[in-house]
Amino acid sequence: MAAEQTLHWRGELREDEPMSRHTSWRAGGPARRYYTPVDAQDLSLFLQQIHPDEPLLWVGLGSNLLVRDGGFPGTVICLHTAVTDLEWLDTTTLRAAAGVTCAKAARVSARAGLTGIEFLAGIPGTIGGALAMNAGAYGGETWSHVAAVETIDRAGRLHTRKPAEYRVGYRSVQGPAEEWFLAAHFALSQANAEQAQARIRELLTQRSATQPVQQYSCGSVFRNPPGDHAARLIEASGLKGLRIGGAQVSEKHANFIVNTGDATAADIETLLNKVQGTVEQQHGVRLQTEVRIVGEYAAG
């Protein structure tokens, strides 16, 4: 089977790959298999040849993701190093592949004198992840500017879909089952390039001043509840700075959990659950996670 596969797909397949190398928390167990495709066509061939029941996990920069210490019992597909093309479909429509960083898409559009997605500069992930969760920051949301998306399904078939085919909400996107994003078409507006770039610099300065950007984290851990902010509730519960093992509620921003150097995934998840339970006990609000938690607990 393996010899037959190598005649078809051209990407790199690793076994027992530590996911601590591929998540922004720098924690987590191994993936049973880890595949980096060469391009979308190669990815299609790979998908056609894996078992239909094989668990799949798609990653970019590994932000907003916690892989438990027992690892992921399936195949991880990484798009960040391969599916990374950017192109202009017309004068105001930017096609950004799923592996492109949000920050790069924001910079390219601003330099071209177009506005709409400057807020993406403050999101530490890729376009694929931003599409999957309708990522937002500083008043902007990803799907507000999406004209179309390109996807790939479990059988390796490629699709182009319109936003109307998805149910999009706050940090939530529901669409056709067993399909994953390969690219977004962003509809942008003409603007002054210097002003757009200045806005990005302003957002990045604000982010650096208010978030622990020099430490390992996943970004915001919890969604903001209606009419409130998760960080305010966590801080009001006296949890800022709380530490379990190598995981700590950030002293700089209470909705961030940072790896101080030697945190396990179990440390992070235990602290997350502690924060969630304490806020609910003290304020009657059950915080919902933004971070996706996958995989198995370590044996013992």
Q: Give per-residue pLDDT as tens, 249-274.
A: 999 999 999 999 999 999 999 999 99
Check residue 177 and report its DSSP letter. T
If asked whether residues 123 and 30 sit together in one domain, one would say no
pLDDT under 50: residue ranges of the chain = 1-6
- On the 0-12 / 13-18 / 19+ scale of CB atoms within 10 A, 246 is middle
Judge if 36 and 111 occupy the same domain. no
Give the residue numbers marked as catalytic.
Answer: 171, 220, 290
- Whether 247 is covered by a domain: the verdict is yes
Question: What are the two backbone dihedrals, phi and then psi, of residue 130, each rounded to the nearest 5 degrees?
Answer: -65, -40
Residue 257 domain-assigned (yes or no): yes
- If asked whether residues 98 and 185 sit together in one domain, one would say yes
Same domain, residue pair 64 and 95: no
pLDDT at position 4, please?
44
pLDDT tens for 114-134 read: 999 999 999 999 999 999 999
Q: What is the CATH number of the domain that holds 96?
A: 3.30.465.10
Count of C-beta atoms within a 10 Å radius of residue 111: 13
Residues 101 and 202 in one domain: yes
Q: Is 223 inside a domain boundary?
A: no
> What does the DSSP 8-state code read for residue 171?
T
SS3 label, residue 45: helix
Question: How many domains is the chain partitioned into structurally?
Answer: 3
Strands 86-90 and 72-78: unpaired
Let me know whether 7 and 23 are in one domain. yes
Same-domain pairing of 99 and 32: no
- H-helix or E-strand containing 105? helix 102-111
Residues 71 and 96 in one domain: no
**Main-chain phi, psi angles of 233, to 5 degrees:** -65, -40
| Residue 28, domain extent | 2-78
* CATH code of 246's domain: 3.90.78.10
Tokens of 97: 């592949």
Q: Return the pLDDT at 8.
A: 81
Cα dihedral 136→274→30→154 (10° resolution):
-50
Report the CATH number at residue 25: 3.30.43.10
Q: Does any domain span residue 149? A: yes
